[in-house]
């Protein structure tokens, strides 16, 4: 995948789909953002049209953008106050189920990210679809276009609660039978909600609220200014990557 | 008189030895024919991706080993490559050769495990024992370089943890290893690790011949695999298959050739491709891949012997400074402290980096918001995509063919469940 090929892919996407896709190229990877309503039409075209031929859906996953760019350690304007200890904050390692942050309304929290591969043209493309509604994230299912999306969509449903409209069998896949909640959401505590143990009296495995571990974070989440500097360097060295 | 016949639902696993770990397969049977197969996975789900979001980047490398725990370093490679891409750094040339070499050692390790356990599933005991003989040698190489036989945590962003050892570990005298036997065991181990690998790669093709002699023309083996689980090239693409699964169906798709990373562009090797897309062809593809990996290791050994050099970038934001330097320099001490307490910030952005792992394309989708911890890590496991296709493929097959099919998928539940 050379740079030129990729630019032309972005250009051809723009020429074919116009404003439907918001295309960007970074680090030799092409990303196209689109609305959920357009997904099926665009996906079908991407699979079938000779210029694209993205015959393979390599990966599909959910992303929860809640708390993107938030830190737990203020590193600016601390001259008068001194550094905080970095023990405040709402990172998922810091709260348990009862104290989880609630009613966090954030416009367009959930996204589905699809990675496509064209074996024919040796090209990759990333599609990102933001879900319009945070309380009921809904995206059309692409299982009709790439049957391999089936389990990936089940996984995104299981872990993020993203509902795929038209999926033939949208069950949980990775979590336990009867699991409550969507564990990869950023407001789901890292220590979880329930734990299991064998109860000798009842002679069965019982589910109880977590007591054996306490929420704990060893390293606070920090964003430093020099990260911006490094980002500039990394983008300048964009063509460093050979594939 | 009409008789009512009902389908029979059967539980296969999660404790069945042929279920390769913790697969629970709910099979709907019509006699001994499969009508529907519904795999229940997730029994080994540990939330690796979520755990990775809660700690600095470097602390998650060890989790990667535990995903596909028979091809450890390839998983590390994808994760480390994603971090390097976002950071915009590149490992030194020698580190790239070391990675290439260990990726191929890992591939042989994986395929040996696969050929052994798959043969065992289908009734051939001996191959398993033979395969573990060579696995043992390569595990020793893992141990020599990282100190751990399996979960190495050897690849780091910016290179590899340390240079190859000058001495290979030797067997000590014990009630089990003594006399002539001990001398034979240690005969390759007199020199450095590279000398050992040199001797190993000279010898290994003859070992592959031994496995082939046991299986390739074996009548029972062929009866169990030829024409079983045929996957057409169209099906392979539709189900997101990669690696030996897609190559077995006749598509010459290999990331090492098509989107080369590390030093694969400099390597001379061939990509075996199947014709019929059945279990037997995938077996042949994997056996040939072992021979090709052997070739690559040999080329890497030759280069590594001739070209000493650094194996880690000279960037203290990412790589720790040398111990001696820390004794003298305040800067080095600070860098060391910051690196191991806070880690490093990775520029905001996202990337998908994939490597040709032994089982197929192992990818790491990494989203960073500029913090010292990843914002989102998604690991694309080849086994997950492969196993999802089991229902349409085993429909109409017999129950024993399901075992052959699970074997040919090369499943490891560490990566399927993550």
pLDDT given at position A236: 56
pLDDT above 70 as % of chain A = 82
Lowest mean pLDDT among A65-74, A157-166, B72-81, B392-401: A65-74
- B chain contacts of residue A240, beta-carbon cutoff 8 Å: 88, 90
Distance separating alpha carbons of residues B354 and B124, to the nearest angstrom: 34
Q: What is the mean pLDDT of residues A72-100?
A: 72
Q: Which residue has the higher pLDDT, A104 or A35?
A: A35
- Going by C-alpha positions, the residue among B386, B400, B393 that lies closest to residue B223 is B400
- Going by C-alpha positions, the residue among B102, B58, B103 that lies closest to residue B84 is B58
Which residue of chain B has the CA closest to A185? B50
pLDDT given at position B122: 87
Which of B36, B88, B373, B380 is best to mutate for the A interface (most A CBs within 10 A)? B88
Q: What is the pTM of this model?
A: 0.90
Q: How many CA atoms lie within 13 A of A99 on its CB side?
A: 13
CA distance to partner chain B, nearest, from residue A54 (Å): 9
Q: What's B401's DSSP letter?
A: H
Distance separating alpha carbons of residues A119 and B173, to the nearest angstrom: 54
CA distance to partner chain A, nearest, from residue B112 (Å): 26
Looking at the DSSP assignment, which residues form a beta bridge with residue A80? none
Distance separating alpha carbons of residues A189 and A95, to the nearest angstrom: 6
pLDDT tens across the length of chain B (418 residues): 667 777 888 888 787 777 777 888 888 888 888 988 999 998 889 999 999 999 999 999 999 999 988 999 999 999 999 999 998 888 999 999 999 999 999 999 999 999 999 998 888 888 888 989 889 989 999 999 988 888 989 999 989 998 999 888 888 888 888 888 888 888 888 888 999 999 999 999 999 998 998 889 889 899 889 988 899 999 899 999 999 999 999 899 999 998 998 889 999 999 999 999 899 999 999 999 999 999 999 999 999 999 998 999 888 888 888 888 888 888 889 889 988 888 888 888 899 999 999 999 999 999 998 888 999 999 999 999 999 999 998 888 888 888 888 888 888 888 898 8
pLDDT given at position A87: 67
Supply the ipTM of this predicted assembly. 0.88
C-beta neighbour count of B13 within 10 angstroms: 20
- A chain contacts of residue B265, beta-carbon cutoff 8 Å: 242
- C-alpha radius of gyration, chain B, whole number: 23
pLDDT above 90 as % of chain A = 30
Residue B56 backbone dihedrals phi, psi, to 5 degrees: -55, 155
Q: How many CA atoms lie within 13 A of A121 on its CB side?
A: 22
Query: Cβ contacts of residue A216 below 8 Å, gap of 6+?
Result: A93
CA distance to partner chain A, nearest, from residue B142 (Å): 28
Distance separating alpha carbons of residues A40 and A112, to the nearest angstrom: 13
Q: How far apart, in Å, are the Cα atoms of B75 and each of A145, A177, B189, B331?
A: 29, 29, 28, 33
Q: Do A93 and B54 touch (CB under 8 A)?
A: yes
Query: 3-class secondary structure for chain A?
Result: CCHHHHHHHHHHHHHHHHHHCEEEEECCEEEEEECHHHHHHHHHHHHHCCCCCCCEEEEEEEEECCCCCCCCCCCCCCCCCCCCCCCCCCCCCCCCHHHCCCCCCCCCCEEEEEEEEECCCCEEEEEEEECCCCCCCEEECCCCCCCCHHHHHHHHHHHHCCEEECCCCCCCCCCCCCCCCCCCCCCCCCCCCEEEEEECCCCEEEEEECCCCCCCCCCCCCECHHHHHHHHHHHHCHHHCCC
The dihedral built from the CA positions of residue B134, B135, B136 and B142, taken in this order, carries a sign that is: positive
pLDDT band at A2 (very low <50, low <70, confident <90, very high): very low
Distance separating alpha carbons of residues B230 and B227, to the nearest angstrom: 6
Of B90, B258, B365, which has the smallest distance from its Cβ to A122's Cβ?
A: B258
B372: left (phi over 0), alpha (psi -120 to 50) or beta: alpha
H or E stretch covering B363:
strand B360-368
Contact by Cβ (8 Å): B54, A190: yes
pLDDT given at position A103: 62
Distance separating alpha carbons of residues A41 and A21, to the nearest angstrom: 12
The dihedral built from the CA positions of residue A45, B242, B46 and B48, taken in this order, carries a sign that is: negative
pLDDT band at A239 (very low <50, low <70, confident <90, very high): very low
CA distance to partner chain A, nearest, from residue B241 (Å): 8
CA distance to partner chain B, nearest, from residue A24 (Å): 12
pLDDT given at position A95: 80
Distance separating alpha carbons of residues A14 and A17, to the nearest angstrom: 5
Q: Do A59 and B363 touch (CB under 8 A)?
A: yes
Query: Cβ contacts of residue B382 below 8 Å, gap of 6+?
Result: B242, B243, B245, B357, B359, B360, B361, B362, B415
pLDDT given at position A240: 46
Which residue of chain A has the CA closest to B416? A174
Of B361, B370, B392, which has the smallest distance from its Cβ to A58's Cβ?
A: B361
- A chain contacts of residue B354, beta-carbon cutoff 8 Å: 58
Distance separating alpha carbons of residues B222 and B207, to the nearest angstrom: 20
Lowest mean pLDDT among A114-123, A179-188, A229-238, B235-244: A229-238
Of A71, A93, A124, which has the smallest distance from its Cβ to B371's Cβ?
A: A71
């Amino acid at each position: 995948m050379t740079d030129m090929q990729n630019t032309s892919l972005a250009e051809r996407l723009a020429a074919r789909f116009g404003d439907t896709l918001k295309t960007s190229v970074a680090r030799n990877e092409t990303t196209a953002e689109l609305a959920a309503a357009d997904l099926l039409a665009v996906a079908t075209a991407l699979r079938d049209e000779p210029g694209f031929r993205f015959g393979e859906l390599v990966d599909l996953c959910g992303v929860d953008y809640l708390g993107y760019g938030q830190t737990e350690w203020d590193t600016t304007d601390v001259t008068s106050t001194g550094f905080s200890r970095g023990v405040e904050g709402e990172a998922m390692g810091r709260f348990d189920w009862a104290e989880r942050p609630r009613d966090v309304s954030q416009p367009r929290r959930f996204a589905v990210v699809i990675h496509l591969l064209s074996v024919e043209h040796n090209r990759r493309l990333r599609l990102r679809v933001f879900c319009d509604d945070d309380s009921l994230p809904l995206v059309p299912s692409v299982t009709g276009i790439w049957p391999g999306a089936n389990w990936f969509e089940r996984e995104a449903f299981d872990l993020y609660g993203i509902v795929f409209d038209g999926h033939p069998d949208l069950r949980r896949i990775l979590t336990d039978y009867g699991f409550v909640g969507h564990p990869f959401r950023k407001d789901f505590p890292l220590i979880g909600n329930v734990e299991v143990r064998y109860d000798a009296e009842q002679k069965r495995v019982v589910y109880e609220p977590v007591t054996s571990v306490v929420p704990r974070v060893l390293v606070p989440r920090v964003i430093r200014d020099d990260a911006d500097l490094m980002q500039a360097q990394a983008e300048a060295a964009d063509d460093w990557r050979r594939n | 008189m009409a008789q009512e016949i009902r389908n029979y639902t059967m539980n296969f696993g999660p404790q069945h030895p042929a279920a390769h770990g913790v697969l629970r397969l709910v099979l709907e049977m019509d006699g001994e024919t499969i009508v529907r197969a519904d795999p229940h996975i997730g029994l080994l789900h540990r939330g690796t991706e979520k755990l990775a979001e809660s700690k600095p980047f470097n602390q998650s490398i060890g989790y990667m080993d535990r995903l596909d725990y028979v091809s450890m370093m390839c998983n590390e490679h994808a994760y480390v490559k994603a971090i390097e891409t976002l950071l915009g750094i590149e490992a030194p040339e020698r580190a790239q050769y070391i990675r290439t070499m260990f990726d191929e050692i890992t591939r042989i390790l994986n395929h040996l495990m696969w050929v052994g356990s798959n043969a065992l599933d289908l009734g051939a005991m001996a191959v398993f024992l033979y395969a573990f003989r060579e696995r043992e040698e390569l595990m020793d190489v893992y141990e020599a370089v990282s100190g751990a036989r399996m979960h190495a945590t050897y690849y780091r962003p910016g290179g590899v943890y340390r240079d190859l050892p000058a001495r290979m570990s030797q067997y000590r005298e014990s009630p089990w290893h003594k006399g002539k036997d001990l001398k034979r065991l240690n005969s390759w181990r007199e020199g450095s690790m590279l000398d050992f690998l040199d001797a190993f790669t000279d010898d290994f093709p003859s070992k592959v011949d031994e496995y082939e002699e046991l299986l390739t023309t074996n009548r029972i083996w062929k009866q169990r695999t030829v024409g079983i689980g045929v996957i057409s090239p169209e099906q392979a693409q539709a189900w997101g298959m990669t690696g030996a699964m897609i190559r077995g169906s006749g598509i010459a798709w290999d990331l090492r050739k098509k989107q080369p990373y590390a030093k694969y562009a400099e390597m001379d090797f061939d990509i075996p491709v199947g014709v019929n897309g059945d279990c037997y062809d995938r077996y042949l593809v994997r056996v040939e891949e072992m021979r090709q990996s052997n070739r690559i290791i040999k080329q890497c050994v030759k280069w590594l012997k001739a070209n000493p050099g650094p194996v880690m970038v000279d960037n203290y934001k990412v790589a720790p400074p040398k111990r001696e330097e820390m004794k003298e320099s305040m800067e080095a001490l600070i860098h060391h402290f910051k690196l191991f307490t806070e880690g490093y910030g990775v520029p905001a952005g996202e990337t998908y980096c994939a490597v040709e792992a032994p089982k197929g394309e192992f990818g790491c989708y990494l989203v960073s918001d500029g913090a010292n911890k990843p914002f989102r890590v998604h690991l694309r496991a080849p086994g997950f995509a492969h196993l999802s296709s089991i229902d349409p493929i085993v429909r109409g097959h017999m129950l024993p063919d399901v075992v052959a099919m699970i074997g040919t998928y090369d499943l490891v539940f560490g990566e399927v469940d993550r």
